[in-house]
């Protein structure tokens, strides 16, 4: 089978061993005579998967019993609304660090529920910079400080957690969740759409602290949007197949040595690619060097025509999904956990040849 080198930003490449396991079990799940897709979400088989996935996730991150793991629907985008809906009201404020299009969307929703203190905005600098702690400001008595750990479109990333201004961090970790260990003590809530680093589209992982949930706003919250509805029980039908796939991806992460192993592999892949970009002026990184993402590597060539040729030639070498986000153009190589080092090596080798021909 000829699998391409897939640099899609999401839904993104999945570990082949996970796909093959799912393929093998698809029609007849564990000899039950039907597929998991055809079984009740209350069946013992699915209940076990849901529980295992939660346990694997907590064990990978070293999360204690204060943490709850929820598998929700609606994408990371619905968390932009659900977070403020649970915690803000007319008399409450949250800090938001604006580092790109996804942060902007989160801020827009938060303003519907409470007051937003913008701790920093990178908009004027075209989001090419991740703020240092001394560039951040905070509101007094804020309920939480929200940040986007990795900016999928612009290709920037916080390399460590930002200061929180005395309020627990709430993080949209959609595009770098489980690419490295986290200092969980600083967080109240973390959410991530699964379709980049965790599994297929359809499930959004939310990790929330019970102690943070105690700070929910007193006003009513619609049942399905209330985090407490989902704590410790399945309220409604979860995206069973997506959770099943996530469970296998989590097992794969553990087998490979957990987050300490992935941080090394991801560093190596990113360094190789950025090294090639920096080797002369032919390729140009689009963001400040100190703010670069290890997940979404963005760069440009001399002009748009040359970029089109680059993409067409790359595809001929099985290097696909390298087109930058439609809002910014250019080239973007998404190199999440499941993107193999061989794929990055193949891309770098192609880039060298392309430069030799066109440079």
Ligand X SMILES: Cc1ncc(COP(=O)(O)O)c(C=O)c1O
- In the complex, the residues that contact ligand X under the rule CB under 6 A are 10, 75-77, 102, 148, 152, 172, 174-175, 193
In whole angstroms, the minimum distance from the beta carbon of 191 to ligand X comes to 9
Active site residue 102: yes
In whole angstroms, the minimum distance from the beta carbon of 149 to ligand X comes to 8
* Residues recorded for the chain: 359
Active site residue 196: yes
In whole angstroms, the minimum distance from the beta carbon of 239 to ligand X comes to 12
Would you say 158 or 282 has its CB closer to ligand X? 158
What is the separation, in whole angstroms, between the first and last Cα of the chain? 34
In whole angstroms, the minimum distance from the beta carbon of 77 to ligand X comes to 3
Active site residue 280: no
The torsion of the CA quartet 94, 165, 174, 256, rounded to 10 degrees, works out to: -150
Would you say 152 or 291 has its CB closer to ligand X? 152
**DSSP secondary structure code for residue 292 in this structure:** B
The residue annotated as part of the active site, out of 196, 294, 323, 340, is 196
Distance of CA 151 to the CA centre of its chain: 9
The residue annotated as part of the active site, out of 58, 67, 98, 102, is 102
The residue annotated as part of the active site, out of 98, 172, 269, 340, is 172
Residue 48 DSSP SS3 = helix
- CB distance 358 to 314 below 8 Å: no
Would you say 240 or 348 has its CB closer to ligand X? 240
In whole angstroms, the minimum distance from the beta carbon of 337 to ligand X comes to 15
Would you say 152 or 179 has its CB closer to ligand X? 152
Cis amide linkage into residue 150, ω under 30° from 0: no
Dihedral sign of CA atoms 167, 170, 175, 179 in order: positive
- CB distance 284 to 276 below 8 Å: no
Query: What is the CA angle 125-129-134, rounded to 5?
Result: 105
Would you say 145 or 174 has its CB closer to ligand X? 174
Among 146, 175, 138, 132, smallest CA distance to 294 is for 175
Catalytic sites, residue numbers? 102, 172, 196
């Amino acid at each position: 089978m000829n699998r391409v080198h897939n640099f899609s930003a999401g839904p993104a490449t999945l570990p082949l061993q996970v796909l093959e396991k799912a393929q093998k079990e698809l029609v007849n799940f564990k000899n039950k005579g039907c597929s998991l897709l055809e079984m009740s979400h209350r069946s013992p088989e699915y209940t076990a998967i849901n529980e295992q996935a939660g346990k694997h996730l907590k064990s990978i991150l070293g999360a204690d019993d204060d943490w709850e793991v929820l598998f929700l629907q609606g994408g990371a985008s619905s968390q932009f609304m659900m977070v403020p809906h649970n915690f803000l009201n007319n008399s409450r404020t949250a800090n938001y660090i604006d580092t790109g299009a996804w942060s902007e969307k989160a801020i827009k929703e938060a303003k519907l529920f409470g007051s937003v203190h913008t701790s920093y905005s990178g908009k004027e600098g075209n989001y090419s910079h991740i703020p240092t702690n001394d560039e951040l400001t905070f509101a007094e008595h804020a309920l939480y400080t929200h940040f986007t750990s990795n900016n999928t479109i612009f290709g920037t990333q916080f390399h460590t957690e930002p200061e929180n201004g005395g309020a627990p961090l709430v993080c949209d970790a959609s595009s770098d969740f489980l690419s490295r260990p986290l200092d969980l003590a600083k967080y109240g809530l973390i959410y991530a759409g699964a379709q980049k680093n965790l599994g297929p589209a359809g499930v959004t992982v939310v990790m929330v602290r019970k102690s943070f949930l105690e700070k929910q706003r007193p006003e009513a919250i619609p049942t399905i949007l209330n985090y407490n509805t989902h704590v410790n029980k399945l309220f409604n039908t979860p995206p069973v197949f997506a959770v099943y796939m996530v469970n296998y991806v989590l097992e794969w992460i553990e087998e490979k040595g957990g987050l300490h192993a992935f941080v090394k592999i991801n560093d190596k892949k990113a360094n190789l690619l950025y090294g090639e970009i920096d080797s002369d002026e032919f390729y140009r990184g689009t963001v400040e060097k100190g703010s670069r993402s290890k997940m979404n590597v963005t760069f440009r060539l001399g002009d748009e025509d040359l970029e089109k040729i680059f993409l067409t030639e790359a595809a001929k070498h099985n290097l696909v999904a390298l087109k930058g986000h439609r809002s910014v153009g250019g080239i973007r190589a998404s190199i999440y956990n499941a993107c193999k080092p061989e794929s990055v090596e193949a891309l770098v080798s192609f880039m060298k040849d392309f430069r030799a021909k066109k440079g």
